[in-house]
C-alpha cells in the first residue's frame, strides 16, 4: 500500500500504522474512522482554554453524536449541549448526568419541553412565545434564555446565528416583556446563552460577540451562568498550511473579559462555551473507494462511493475538505493533476471537490476526506436508499473498534408499510 499524499494524516499519526485498505475490507466502504487520541487532545485543549475557574465546556453534540464518541467526551470531563430529545437520550446513555446537559431549544413542541422537564434537564428558550409555553408547563421552574447580541459570524450565511437575519434567539428590545412573563409564571432565570455562528478563525469576532451578550447579562440580576456559544474554527486547508485558530491568545482575551465582567456584576458566575467542530472535526476522516475514472472533455472525474448522503458539507456550504489518496498497488502516480471528485448520488451537484490537484487518481484507489468528524455522519442520510457508513475508532492503544454498524437494507425497509 502506498500513501500518495498523506502529509496531513502522517503529521498527526492518524492511522497509527494501520493500513486503510484493511479497514475498508473489514468494515466496508465508505467508512468513518475516528482517532481517539486526537479527540481526547482536543477535549483537553478546550477545557484549558481559560484560567478563570468557574468555566465549563459543553460539547455541542450535533457535530457528532455517536454514542462511543460521547462516552469519550464524558470521560474527559466535559458537559454537553443538546438540540433535541434524541440528543438528550444518547447523552444520558453515554453517562452524562441530567445536570451536565443543557438543552438549547428552537421552536420545539410542548411534548419536547415536557421531555426536558421530566428528565430534570435545564433548557433555554429562544422566543417569548416559547417562554410563555414553558411557564404554563413548569410554573416556578428554572429556565435559561437565548439572546441575540446582534453580532453574527460564520463560514457561510447558512450558519450565522446572530444579527438581524436569523431565526434564533430573542432580540434584547423585548427584555421588558420577557421579564413580565418570567414574573407571571414565577420562573427563575438561571442563565442566558448565545451562539453567534459557526467557524471563526480569528478570536476577535468571538470576543466581540461575548462583549455583546455580557451587556445583555447586566440587565438581569443573579444569573448563575452565561453560555457564550461555540463556533471555534479548525483549519480545513491544512495541505495549504492554513494556520490554526490561536487558542492561547483567545483564552487570554476571554480571561480578561470575564474578570472585568465579574467585578462589575458583583458576583462570580460560571462561563460556558459550546464547541462542536473544534472538538470533533479533526479526529475523523472518511475512507471511500474510487469506483470509476472518466474524462468529459478535458475534465477528469474520480467517481467515488462518497456521495452527499455520506458527507453533506461540500454540497450544502461549498465546504473545502483536504483529500488524500492511498493505493494498494505499487503503480506510481506520475503527476499531480486537477480532478473533480464526485460521489454516486443521482444529482450533478454531488461533488466533493472541484478541480482539486491530486496525484493521478486511478480505479481502486482509496480516498480520504479529512476533518470529517464534525457534521459528517451526524448529517448523513439514506438519500437514494443508500446505506449510511459504519463508524470505527482507532483507540489509543492501536486497537480498532466498531462503534456504529453500517446501515442494512432492513434498517431502511422496516419502516415502510406495504399497500399489498
Residues at the site binding ligand LLP, with contacts judged by CB under 6 A? 60, 62-63, 81, 104, 159, 161, 195, 198-199, 229-232, 274-278, 313, 317, 374-375
Query: Measured from the CB of residue 287, what is the shortest distance to ligand LLP in angstroms?
Result: 19
Eight-class DSSP state of 191? E
d(CA 77, CA 83): 20
d(CA 52, CA 36): 28
Contacts of 180 (CB under 8 A, 6+ apart): none
d(CA 193, CA 208): 15
Query: Measured from the CB of residue 414, what is the shortest distance to ligand LLP in angstroms?
Result: 28
The residue among 91 and 365 lying less far from ligand LLP, judged by its C-beta, is 91
The residue among 5 and 319 lying less far from ligand LLP, judged by its C-beta, is 319
309 contacts 60 by C-beta, under 8 angstroms: no
257 contacts 207 by C-beta, under 8 angstroms: yes
Query: Measured from the CB of residue 203, what is the shortest distance to ligand LLP in angstroms?
Result: 14
35 contacts 64 by C-beta, under 8 angstroms: no
Per DSSP, the three-state class of 313 is helix
Which entry of 346, 397, 419, 420 is annotated as an active-site residue? 346
Query: Measured from the CB of residue 345, what is the shortest distance to ligand LLP in angstroms?
Result: 18
Eight-class DSSP state of 28? -
Helix (H) or strand (E) holding 317: helix 313-317
The residue among 134 and 320 lying less far from ligand LLP, judged by its C-beta, is 320
Interior/surface letters 150-175, b for 16+ CB within 10 angstroms, e for the rest:
bbbbbbeeebbbbbeeeebbbebeee
Q: Is 346 noted as a catalytic residue in this protein? A: yes
Query: Measured from the CB of residue 1, what is the shortest distance to ligand LLP in angstroms?
Result: 30
Angle in degrees, CA 31, 35, 40, rounded to 5: 145
Grid look-up 492511498 returns 326
The residue among 82 and 131 lying less far from ligand LLP, judged by its C-beta, is 82
State CA 304 to chain mean position distance: 24
The residue among 156 and 395 lying less far from ligand LLP, judged by its C-beta, is 156
Query: Measured from the CB of residue 121, what is the shortest distance to ligand LLP in angstroms?
Result: 15
C-alpha cell at 163: 444579527
The residue among 301 and 317 lying less far from ligand LLP, judged by its C-beta, is 317
Which candidate, 329, 32, 79, places its Cα nearest to that of 191? 79
Catalytic residue ranges? 346
Amino acid at each position: 500500500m502506498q500513501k500518495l499524499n498523506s502529509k496531513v494524516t502522517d503529521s498527526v499519526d492518524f492511522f497509527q500504522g494501520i493500513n486503510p485498505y484493511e479497514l475498508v475490507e473489514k468494515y466496508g466502504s465508505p467508512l468513518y474512522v475516528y482517532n481517539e487520541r486526537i479527540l481526547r487532545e482536543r477535549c483537553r485543549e478546550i477545557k484549558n482554554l481559560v484560567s478563570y475557574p468557574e468555566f465549563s465546556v459543553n460539547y455541542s453534540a450535533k457535530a457528532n453524536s455517536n454514542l462511543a464518541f460521547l462516552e469519550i467526551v464524558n470521560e474527559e470531563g466535559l458537559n454537553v449541549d443538546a438540540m433535541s430529545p434524541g440528543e438528550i437520550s444518547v447523552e444520558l446513555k453515554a453517562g452524562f448526568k441530567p445536570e451536565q446537559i443543557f438543552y438549547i431549544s428552537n421552536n420545539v413542541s410542548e411534548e419536547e419541553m415536557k421531555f426536558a422537564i421530566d428528565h430534570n434537564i435545564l433548557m433555554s428558550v429562544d422566543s417569548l412565545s416559547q417562554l410563555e409555553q414553558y411557564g404554563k408547563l413548569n410554573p416556578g421552574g428554572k429556565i435559561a434564555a437565548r439572546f441575540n447580541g446582534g453580532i453574527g459570524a460564520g463560514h457561510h450565511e447558512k450558519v450565522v446565528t446572530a444579527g438581524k437575519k436569523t431565526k434564533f434567539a430573542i432580540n434584547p428590545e423585548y427584555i421588558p416583556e420577557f421579564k413580565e412573563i418570567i414574573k407571571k409564571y414565577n420562573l427563575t432565570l438561571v442563565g442566558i446563552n448565545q451562539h453567534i455562528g459557526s467557524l471563526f478563525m480569528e478570536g476577535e469576532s468571538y470576543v466581540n460577540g461575548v462583549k455583546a451578550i455580557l451587556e445583555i447579562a447586566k440587565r438581569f440580576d443573579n444569573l448563575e451562568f452565561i453560555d457564550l456559544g461555540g463556533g471555534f474554527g479548525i483549519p480545513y486547508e491544512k495541505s495549504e498550511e492554513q494556520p490554526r485558530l490561536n487558542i492561547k491568545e483567545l483564552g487570554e482575551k476571554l480571561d480578561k473579559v470575564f474578570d472585568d465582567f465579574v467585578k462589575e456584576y458583583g458576583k462570580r458566575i460560571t462561563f460556558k462555551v459550546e464547541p462542536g467542530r473544534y472538538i470533533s472535526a479533526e479526529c475523523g476522516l472518511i475512507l471511500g473507494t474510487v469506483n470509476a475514472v472518466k474524462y468529459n472533455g478535458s475534465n477528469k472525474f474520480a467517481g467515488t462511493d462518497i456521495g452527499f448522503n455520506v458527507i453533506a458539507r461540500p454540497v450544502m456550504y461549498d465546504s473545502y475538505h483536504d483529500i488524500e489518496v492511498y493505493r494498494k498497488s505499487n503503480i506510481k502516480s506520475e503527476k499531480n493533476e486537477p480532478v473533480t471528485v464526485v460521489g454516486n448520488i443521482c444529482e450533478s451537484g454531488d461533488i466533493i471537490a472541484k478541480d482539486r490537484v491530486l496525484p493521478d487518481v486511478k480505479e481502486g484507489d482509496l480516498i480520504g476526506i479529512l476533518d470529517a468528524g464534525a457534521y459528517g455522519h451526524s448529517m448523513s442520510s439514506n438519500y437514494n436508499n443508500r446505506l449510511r457508513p459504519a463508524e470505527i475508532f482507532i483507540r489509543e492503544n492501536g486497537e480498532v473498534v466498531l462503534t456504529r454498524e453500517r446501515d442494512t437494507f432492513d434498517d431502511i425497509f422496516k419502516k415502510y408499510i406495504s399497500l399489498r
